[in-house]
Structure 1
Amino acid sequence: MKNIRNNFVFFFLVTIISAVDIFYNGNAFVQLALVLLASTAVFYMPAIKLNINRLAFIILLGVNLFVLAITLTQRTYLLNMLFLSYLLWSIITPKLQHFNFLFPMTFLLSFISVYAACLLDFSVPVFVVALYPVYVFGSLLNGKNIIKTKKIWAFAFFNLFVSSLGLAVFLFKSLGQSIIDSVLLINIVKLGALAAVYLPLLSLFAIWFAISANMIFRMLFSKFSKAGTAFDLSNFIKPVMSLISFFTVSGIATFICELSIRQNFKETIQDILDPNLLFNILVLCSIYMCLTALLGRGIPKIIIGIVTIFLTVANYIKFKYFDEPFYPWDLYLIRNLIGICKEYLSIPIIVSVVAGIGVMVYVVIRFRKAIGRYLKPKLSLLLLPFAGIFLILNSIVLIYTPLSIQLGIQQSWYIGKDEIVANGMFAQNYFYLTELDKYLNPKPQGYSESTMADINSKYGETGDSVAASAFVSNEKPNVIMIMSESFWDITKLNDLKFSKNIVENTHKYQKGQLAAPVIGGGTANSEFEALTGMSISALSPGIIVYNAYLRTTTPSIASVLKDNGYSTTAIHPNYGWFYNRDKVYNYFGFEKFYDVDKFSLSSQCKGPYISDYALVDKIMETLNSSDKPAFIFGISMQNHDPYIDKYSSHDVTVESSKLNEQQKNIVGNFAQGIYDADQSLGKLIEELKNSKKPTLVYFFGDHAPRLGSLNDFYKVYDLLGTDDRSAQNQNLEKLKYYTTPFAAWSNFKEIDSFSEIVSPSHIAYKILEDTGVKYPNYFNILPKLEKDFPVLHQQTISTVDSDNQLIKDYRLIQYDILFGNKYLK
C-alpha cells in the first residue's frame, strides 16, 4: 500500500511539472521553479518501484532514447528526461552505492558536465548527469531513519542557508543574461563562456538547495520507526565543509589579489562576481584542484597562500612606486625592490618580523606531528581526472579568443593597469607567462664588469666623449626634436594626385630617411630608439619597451643634455599615462612633461585631436620661457588614425583612379594631416629664424599610417605601390613602407644628411654631435654602426651577422643599460 501511495504521489508531481514544462515554455523563473520541483521528484525517485522485467526495461529505455533523438534539435522535454534518468540511475546506482566517495564525486561530475556543455557548439542535455547527486542522496536516505540531534538540525539548516544564499547571489548575477533559461539543463545550445561561469554554480546551488530542503522536510514530517537503519547526517559534515573551504580559499585568494590591483575594497566587492573575475576564481579552483589531487589537502593551501601573499605585496609595491601591476619579468628589478625595502626598514618593523618568524618556528616545532600529518602528500586518482578536465576547459576559454572575449577577457598588445583590471590577476598572468620568452632577455655571453670597461675604453679613450664637429657659437644651442604622428611621405605612392605640395617644407629640409621599427602603431618604440640610441631589433616582436622594461633611470639624449646644463621638456598632447610616458620621461631625464592637460580640447583641436599648430605654439612658449639652453621633445597627435570622415573641411584634395570612395576619404584625411604637420614645421622654422639664439630643429615621422582597418591597412599601399629606389639599393625592399622622412634645420650651422636609410637610433648621435656636448663613450658606437649596419630592424635582423664584434658590443651595451648592472652608467 505504501509503495502504491509513493508511486501515485511521484507520478502526480511528474505530471504537473511536465505539463508546465510543455505548455508554459520560455519564462526563466518558471524554468528555475521547474528544476527545483524536478529535484524534489528526483529526490524521492529511489522510492519508486515499477517492478518491470528486463524486456520492458529495454523497451522503455529505447522509447525514451528515440523521443530524445527526435526532439533534441527542437526542444527536449522534462518528462522524457525524468523517465530516461530514472531508467539509467536505477540500474547504475545500486552497483556504486557501496562506495563512500559516490556522493561527493557526483557533485564534481555535475559541475564539470554543465561547465563543459556550455562551451560546446551543439545541443547537449546534461540533466541526467547534473541532477544525479539528488538521486544519489535520495537513495542513501530511502527506507532509513534520520538521526535527529541538535547538531544534525543545525547542520541541516546551515546547508539550507548556504545553498539559498549562493542560489540567490548567482541568480541575481545571471539576470538579464539568458542563463536562467537553461537552468533546467535539458536544452543547452551554444551558451558560451558567459553561461559557463554562471550556470554550473547556479546549478550547483540549486541542487544543493533542493537536497537541503527535502532533507529538512523528511526530518520534519517523518517519525522514527523501527524499520530500516539509522542514517547519520554528521558523516556528511566533513565533505560539505571541504566543499565550502575549497571555494572559500579560491574566492578569498582571488579577492585579495584583485584588491591589491584595485586598492579599493568597495570596488573589489562590486567586481568580484563579474564574469571576468568569476572566471579567475574558477581558474584558481582548477589549479587548486589539480594540486589537491596530486599533493593532498595541506600543501596546496600553503602554495596558494604563498602565491597570494607574494602577488599582493608585489602589486602593492609596484602600484605605490610605478602605478602599474607586477609583471613576471619584474625579476629584473629585484635589486630595486631590495633598495626600496631598505628605505622602510625600522627597528619596530625588524622586531615585528623577527617576532613573527619566531612564533612561526615555535608553532612548527610544537605541532610538528600534526602539521606533518596535515601536509603529508597524498595522490587522489579519483579527483585527478576531474581536476584535469576542469583545468583543460579553463585553458580552452583562455586560448580561444571568441570565448574569452565573452567574459571581457582579451590579450592586449598594451600592458598595464587597465589590462589586468579587465582580465583579472590570474588570466592576465597566464597571458604574461605564455609570452614570457618575449620579455626575458638572457645575459649575453661574456657580459661582465671588465667586459663593459673594455667597451667603454674602446669607444672613447678619454672618458666622456665630445662631439667632433664643435658648434660655431659660444652659446649652447637650443634643441627642438619633433616626432610627428604617422608622418609618412604618401606622395611616394603611385597614382595619387594632390592639389597642393603637402610635404613642401619636409622635402626642403629633408636630411635622409629613417627605417621606423614599427608600422601602423607602436609609436613608443620609434621614440625609444631616437631618444636612447638603442634598438628594439634584438627584442621579441610586439614588445613595447616603455611598458615592459623601463622602470629605472635610463640614459638618453635628454639626460645627457640635462647633465650639460640644459632644461629638458617633453610635450605630447595626449594622456600622459599612455605608453607609461608620465613615468618613463622622468627616467629619461626630462624635467617637465606637458600632456593633453596643458592644452585646450575645446579650442586647440583639429579633428578629434590637438592640432600640430597648437603643439608648435606650446614648443615656442616653452622655449621662450627657458632661462637655460633648452631641449624640447614634442610628439604630435593630430594625424593619429582613424582617418575616415576625420575633417569637415580640407585645404588639400586627392585624386586616384584606383581607390574607391572610402579609400579616397581615408587618404584625403591623412593627406590633410600631413599637410598640417608640414605647414606647422614651416611655421616653427619661420619663427625661429627671427631668434638670435643658436637653434637646432629635428623632425621625423614615427611610422607609416594605417590606411584602413586594423586588419587591412595595407590595402591602399598594395593597390597603389611605390618605387622606393633607396630601399631597393640597400636591399631593404621589405621596409619600403617603414621608411619615414627625416628633416633638420639650424640657424647657425649646416646639418649633414644621412647618406643612406638609417634606424631612428642614429638621430641620438646626430643631435649630440651637432650640439657639441659631452656624452657617454658608448654613443660612439653609433657612427660605426651607421657605416656597417645603418638599419637594424626586426624585419631584417636575420640577415645580420650576430657574431660580428660590433653587433656583439652593441647588444652588450644595450643589455647593460636596460637589464644589467649598468656598469656604463
Structure 2
Amino acid sequence: MDRKKFVRDICKDNMLLIYGFIQVIFLAVLRKYYLLTVYQTVAAYLFVCLCGVIVLKFVRNKAVQNIYLLMWSSFHGIIILGFLTQGTFYLTLTQINKVQIVNLFLGFLLYWIFYLISGKGQTAVAVGNLVIAVMGITNHYLMRFRGAPFQISDLKAAKTAGNVFLNYDYMPDLYMLFTVIDLFVWYKLIKQEYQKRELKKRQIPDAIVTVAAVFACIPLVNGTYQKIYSETGQFSKDSYLAELLADAEGKTESYPEGYSAENAKKILQDFNSQAPEKQETVSTAKQMPNIVVIMNEAFSDLRVLGEIETDQPFLEYWDSLEENCIKGWANVSVFGGTTANSEYEFLSSDATALYQNPVIPYNNYFEQTDVYQSMVSVLKDQGYETTAFHPYLSSGWNRTQVYRAMQFDHIIFSEDLEQPLDTIRLYTSDEGDYTYIRQYFDQKEKNTPQFFFNVTMQNHSGYTYDGDNFKTTVHLRGDAAGKFPQAEQYLSLIRESDKALKGLLEYFENYEEPVVVVIFGDHQPKLEEEFYSYVTGITRDQWDLTQQRKQYKTPLLIWHNYAAGSENIGDISLNYLAPLLLQDTGLNMSDYQHYVLGQYEEFPVINSVGIVDANGNVHVRGSEEFTERTREMQILVYAHTVEKIW
C-alpha cells in the first residue's frame, strides 16, 4: 500500500474535519497567549467538531448531513462575527443563557434563509459568510473608531457618518485579514463537502427545519427577544445578532409603566405645589449675564482613568483655574461617539438613560417637530438672543431641524461662514472656533443678553492623522513611551484645547458685560485598547463598576467674569446642568427644569451606567431599583420629548 497516497486520500476526504480541529487548536492558542476567548468556548467548538465527525461519518442520511453542515457553518460564522465585533467570543455550554441561544438560532436562520432561496447549501454558505464578513468588518471599524458596533439608529445617522467618513484610517489589520481568509477557506471546504452530498430533490428534513424555524420566529412579532435580551444584559461578546434584533424590536416605542399625559401633568403640578417658591427674574444686567456654553468635542481628562505620565502638561491652564468658577465631572451617557445625545441632555434636561430602549432623540423625535421647550426657549422668554454655532456641516445629527424646533434665533454651520476658520488636522481648531466667538461678541448688540451654544470639532476622532497640519507635542513617558500614538495625538489635541480656552477666558475677563462660560466634554475618545489596559492595569472587560463609570466622565467648568463663589460639585449628569446654570445665574426656569433640579440632591447622576444616589450608591440601568426610583422622571421624559405635551 502506498502510504503517501493513503494519507493524502484520508486528508482529502476529511479536510473539513481536519480544518475544524485546526480551528479548535487556534482558539486554544488565542486563549493561552492573547486571552481573546475562554476555555469553555474552545470546548464548545470542539463539541461541534466532534458532532461533525459523528454526523458525516456515521449518519447515512445525506439530507441530515447537509443540514448539519449548514448548522456548523452558521456556528462558525457566529464565532467569526464575535471576534470581528469585540475581538473575542464567549460561549459556555454549562451556563448558556437565553440570549446566546437566540443568537445561535439567528445565525442558523440567516444561512437557512439563503438555503431556501438558492436550494444549494454551498450557495447558502457563500452568501452567509459574505454577510457575516460585511457585518463583522463594519463592526470592527466602528469598534475601532467609537467603541460600539452597528446599531439600528445608525441608519438615521448616515449623513453624520458620511461627513467624517474620509477622516479615519481604514487600513485592515492582521486580525481582520485572518478572519476573512478563514471565512473563505471554510466556504471552499464546505463547497467540496456539499458537492459530495448534493441531492436532486429537497427532502423531508428540509421541511421539518423550515417549520421549526417559522415557529421559532413567532417571538419576533411580540418582542419576546427584546425582553429576553433586556433580562440578561449581554452585550456583543457572544450575542451581537440577538442584540441587533432587540435593538430593531425596541424601535417600536415602549412607554414606561404608568405613562399618560394626564399623569405627567399631575406629577409636575404636585411637585411645584409643594416645592419652595421659585425665584423671580431680576432685570439688572448683572443678573442677566451673557451665557456661552461650549460642548467641546471629545474633550476629556484621561487622568480620571488612572495615572498618566507625559513629557509636558496637557491641561495646565484648566488645572490653574480656581477663582469665580464651579468645577466638577460631567457624567455623560456615551463613549467614543454619539455626540448628539450629550448635546440633547444639556439642552432638554432629559436623561437618555430614562428611555426604555436605546435612542438618539435628535434623529428619533424631531422629524415633525415645530416647537420644542428647551433651555433655548426658557432663555428667549427672558429676553435673551440665542445662537447655535457648529463649525462643521449642517447635515450632522438632524441639527438643523432640532435647532429650529428649539427656536434658536441664529443657526450657524460651516456652510454659513464667510471666511474659513483656522484648522488642525481636518477640522476647525478650538482656536479658530473661539476666534469666531470673540468676533461675534465684539459685534453683538450691547445690553442684549446672549445665549451662545457652541459645539466644537477639533478633537473629533480618529487619532491617526499623519499630515502637515498637526504634529504630536505630548508624549507618554515610562513604559508607555512610543507605544500608543493615538493616545499621544489625542493628548496633544487636548493641549491645544487648553491653550485656546486660556485665550477665550482672557478675552471675556475684560468684556464689559457679565459673562458666564460653561464648558464640558461630550464624551471620552476611543483610543488603543491596550492603552486602557496600561493605564488601569487590567483589560476593559475586567473593569468593575467603579472603573466603568470613570469612562463616562468629562471635565466640567462654569466660569464667571464677575465675582462669584468657587466650588467643586463633583459628579453631575448633563440633564441637571442647565437647571443648575439657571440657578447659578439667578434666572427663571421652566416647571420641568424646576422638577429636574429637585431630583439633583436625591441622585446627582443619571446616565447609561445607572443612577448614583446622594450616598454614592450605584444602581445600574435596568435594575429594579433604577426603574422604581426614576419612574416619575421616565414618564416626564416621554411627555416632554416623545409626546411634547408642553
Match of 1:514 in 2: 330
- State the shift of 1:633 in Å: 0.9
Q: Equivalents in 2 of 1:686, 1:576: separation in Å?
A: 30
Q: Equivalents in 1 of 2:122, 2:349: separation in Å?
A: 45
2:436 counterpart of 1:623: no
Q: Equivalents in 2 of 1:557, 1:796: separation in Å?
A: 24
Match of 2:549 in 1: 735
2:307 counterpart of 1:494: yes
Q: Which amino acid aligns with 1:445?
A: E
Q: Equivalents in 1 of 2:333, 2:359: separation in Å?
A: 11
- State the shift of 1:770 in Å: 3.0
Specify which of 345, 350, 360 is matched with residue 534 of structure 1.
Answer: 350
Task: Structure 1 unaligned segments of length 5 or more: list them.
Answer: 1-67, 75-115, 123-282, 288-384, 423-429
Specify which of 494, 504, 513 is matched with residue 317 of structure 2.
Answer: 504
Q: Is contact 1:459–1:781 with CA below 8 Å preserved after alignment?
A: yes
2:302 counterpart of 1:484: no
Q: Secondary structure at the match of 2:250?
A: helix
Match of 2:155 in 1: 415
Q: Which amino acid aligns with 2:604?
A: P
2:540 counterpart of 1:714: no
CA gap of 1:751–1:804, structure 2 versus 1, over 3 A, is farther
- State the shift of 1:743 in Å: 0.7
Q: Which amino acid aligns with 1:514?
A: A
CA deviation digits over 1:511-568, x for unaligned, max 9? 1111111112121111111111111112367532222333323322112112222222
Specify which of 632, 636, 639 is matched with residue 813 of structure 1.
Answer: 636
Q: Secondary structure at the match of 2:336?
A: coil
Matches within 5 A, 1:170-181: none
Specify which of 540, 562, 581 is matched with residue 748 of structure 1.
Answer: 562
Q: Secondary structure at the match of 1:654?
A: coil
CA gap of 1:713–1:600, structure 2 versus 1, over 3 A, is farther
Specify which of 653, 663, 669 is matched with residue 474 of structure 2.
Answer: 653
Q: Is contact 1:459–1:777 with CA below 8 Å preserved after alignment?
A: no
Q: Secondary structure at the match of 1:742?
A: strand
Matches within 5 A, 1:253-268: none
Match of 1:689 in 2: 509
CA gap of 1:519–1:804, structure 2 versus 1, over 3 A, is closer
CA gap of 1:610–1:390, structure 2 versus 1, over 3 A, is farther
Q: Equivalents in 2 of 1:660, 1:401: separation in Å?
A: 40
Match of 1:674 in 2: 494
Match of 1:780 in 2: 594
Matches within 5 A, 1:61-140: none
| Higher relative contact order (CA closer than 8 Å, sequence separation 6+) | 2
CA deviation digits over 1:692-738, x for unaligned, max 9? 21211101111111222xx666345445999xxxx99xx84431222
Match of 2:403 in 1: 585
Q: Equivalents in 2 of 1:660, 1:705: separation in Å?
A: 20
Q: Which amino acid aligns with 1:619?
A: I
Q: Which amino acid aligns with 1:658?
A: D
- State the shift of 1:609 in Å: 1.1
Q: Is contact 1:511–1:744 with CA below 8 Å preserved after alignment?
A: yes
Q: Which amino acid aligns with 2:630?
A: I
Q: Equivalents in 2 of 1:392, 1:778: separation in Å?
A: 60
CA deviation digits over 1:325-360, x for unaligned, max 9? xxxxxxxxxxxxxxxxxxxxxxxxxxxxxxxxxxxx
2:412 counterpart of 1:594: yes
Q: Secondary structure at the match of 2:352?
A: coil
TM-score (ref. length: structure 1): 0.47
Match of 1:769 in 2: 583
Q: What is the aligned length?
A: 447
Q: Equivalents in 1 of 2:538, 2:70: separation in Å?
A: 47
Matches within 5 A, 1:215-234: none
RMSD: 4.8
Q: Equivalents in 1 of 2:427, 2:382: separation in Å?
A: 35
Matches within 5 A, 1:436-455: 436-455=248-267
CA gap of 1:818–1:393, structure 2 versus 1, over 3 A, is farther
Paired-residue identity, %: 22
Q: Is contact 1:537–1:793 with CA below 8 Å preserved after alignment?
A: yes
Q: Equivalents in 2 of 1:600, 1:610: separation in Å?
A: 14
Q: Equivalents in 2 of 1:397, 1:751: separation in Å?
A: 65
CA gap of 1:814–1:706, structure 2 versus 1, over 3 A, is same
CA gap of 1:444–1:70, structure 2 versus 1, over 3 A, is closer
Q: Which amino acid aligns with 1:485?
A: E
Q: Is contact 1:483–1:634 with CA below 8 Å preserved after alignment?
A: yes
Q: Which amino acid aligns with 1:790?
A: P
CA deviation digits over 1:361-383, x for unaligned, max 9? xxxxxxxxxxxxxxxxxxxxxxx
Q: Equivalents in 2 of 1:586, 1:460: separation in Å?
A: 29
Q: Equivalents in 2 of 1:392, 1:544: separation in Å?
A: 40
Q: Equivalents in 1 of 2:129, 2:570: separation in Å?
A: 44
Q: Is contact 1:608–1:646 with CA below 8 Å preserved after alignment?
A: no
- State the shift of 1:653 in Å: 3.1
Q: Equivalents in 2 of 1:421, 1:688: separation in Å?
A: 35
- State the shift of 1:393 in Å: 8.3
Q: Which amino acid aligns with 2:592?
A: Y
Q: Equivalents in 2 of 1:602, 1:535: separation in Å?
A: 35
Q: Equivalents in 1 of 2:597, 2:420: separation in Å?
A: 45
Q: Secondary structure at the match of 2:580?
A: helix
Matches within 5 A, 1:251-290: none
Q: Is contact 1:470–1:771 with CA below 8 Å preserved after alignment?
A: no
Q: Which amino acid aligns with 2:475?
A: V
CA gap of 1:793–1:399, structure 2 versus 1, over 3 A, is farther
- State the shift of 1:613 in Å: 0.8
- State the shift of 1:584 in Å: 1.7
Q: Equivalents in 2 of 1:712, 1:784: separation in Å?
A: 41
Q: Secondary structure at the match of 1:497?
A: coil
Match of 1:309 in 2: none
Q: Is contact 2:326–2:568 with CA below 8 Å preserved after alignment?
A: no
Match of 2:461 in 1: 641
Q: Equivalents in 2 of 1:746, 1:420: separation in Å?
A: 34
CA gap of 1:615–1:527, structure 2 versus 1, over 3 A, is same
2:426 counterpart of 1:608: yes
Q: Equivalents in 1 of 2:558, 2:160: separation in Å?
A: 41
Q: Secondary structure at the match of 1:564?
A: coil
2:377 counterpart of 1:559: yes
Q: Equivalents in 2 of 1:754, 1:682: separation in Å?
A: 20
- State the shift of 1:644 in Å: 2.9
Q: Which amino acid aligns with 1:612?
A: D
Is 495-504 or 756-765 further displaced after alignment? 495-504
Match of 1:796 in 2: 610
Q: Is contact 1:439–1:548 with CA below 8 Å preserved after alignment?
A: no
CA gap of 1:750–1:661, structure 2 versus 1, over 3 A, is same
Q: Is contact 1:488–1:741 with CA below 8 Å preserved after alignment?
A: yes
CA deviation digits over 1:176-216, x for unaligned, max 9? xxxxxxxxxxxxxxxxxxxxxxxxxxxxxxxxxxxxxxxxx
Q: Which amino acid aligns with 1:438?
A: G
Q: Which amino acid aligns with 2:401?
A: K
- State the shift of 1:503 in Å: 3.7
- State the shift of 1:69 in Å: 11
Q: Which amino acid aligns with 1:571?
A: F
Q: Which amino acid aligns with 1:809?
A: E
Q: Equivalents in 1 of 2:515, 2:584: separation in Å?
A: 10
Q: Which amino acid aligns with 1:538?
A: L
CA gap of 1:121–1:784, structure 2 versus 1, over 3 A, is closer
